[in-house]
């Protein structure tokens, strides 16, 4: 929001009670904040003041300019604004990458469909020829296709014991005597 050359900001946590208050940001303060943002992760108010000094400030005004930058940073919540911008940039990047990945996935799925169709036509046209070497490629392409299309190749089944714990396995050992070669029940049983 702008009011006669000033920009009104809602600054969080500066009212003393964790609330917010409106602050007037002058065009000079906004320009300084934007230069501060552009400095990247190695930014500091001292470096910003030095950068401004290199652009024509005199030594006499450098200290007062650095104090002014510190006042703006504190009163206008520059650190919180930087954190919000960084988070927003990261969210924008994630959203863009999600869109690009989805588009790329569609292109790969289309390419696999074309290759699989060509391969199946070649198998059909060849009569009895199986082209065994390429069948492995077809299997890999099918698995990749199903992964990219987010479709399982089969349902997953797991076997577990009571309450989802381990499966209990029991077995019986049968011992036979010397003259009984597995044909009778004269042995002993144990666990």
Give pLDDT, residue 180: 54
Rounded CA-CA distance 64/58 in Å is 10
Give pLDDT, residue 18: 41
Rounded CA-CA distance 165/190 in Å is 25
% of the chain beyond a pLDDT of 90: 25
pLDDT tens per residue, range 88-97: 999 999 999 9
Burial 29-62 (b: 16+ CB within 10 A, else e): beebbeebeeeeeebebeebbeebeeeebeeeee
Q: Where are the domains of the chain?
A: 2-76, 93-148
pLDDT tens per residue, range 149-167: 887 766 655 566 677 677 6
Rounded CA-CA distance 69/33 in Å is 9
- pTM (2 d.p.): 0.47
Name the residue with tokens 């510190």: 70
């Amino acid at each position: 929001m702008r009011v006669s050359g000033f920009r009104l900001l809602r600054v969080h946590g500066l009212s003393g009670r964790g609330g917010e208050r409106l602050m007037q940001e002058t065009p000079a303060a906004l320009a300084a904040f934007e230069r501060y943002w552009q400095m990247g992760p190695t930014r500091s108010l001292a470096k910003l003041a030095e950068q401004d000094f290199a652009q024509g400030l005199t030594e006499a005004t450098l200290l007062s300019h650095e104090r002014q930058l510190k006042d703006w940073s504190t009163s206008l919540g520059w650190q919180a604004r930087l954190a919000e911008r960084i988070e927003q940039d990261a969210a924008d990047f994630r959203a863009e990458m999600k869109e690009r990945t989805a588009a790329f996935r569609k292109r790969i799925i289309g390419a696999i469909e074309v290759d699989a169709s060509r391969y199946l036509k070649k198998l059909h046209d060849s009569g009895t020829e199986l082209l065994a070497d390429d069948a492995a490629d077809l299997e890999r392409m099918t698995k990749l296709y199903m992964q990219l299309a987010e479709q399982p190749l089969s349902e997953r089944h797991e076997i577990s014991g009571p309450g989802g714990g381990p499966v209990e396995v029991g077995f019986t050992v049968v011992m036979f005597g010397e003259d009984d070669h597995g044909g009778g029940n004269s042995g002993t049983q144990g666990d």
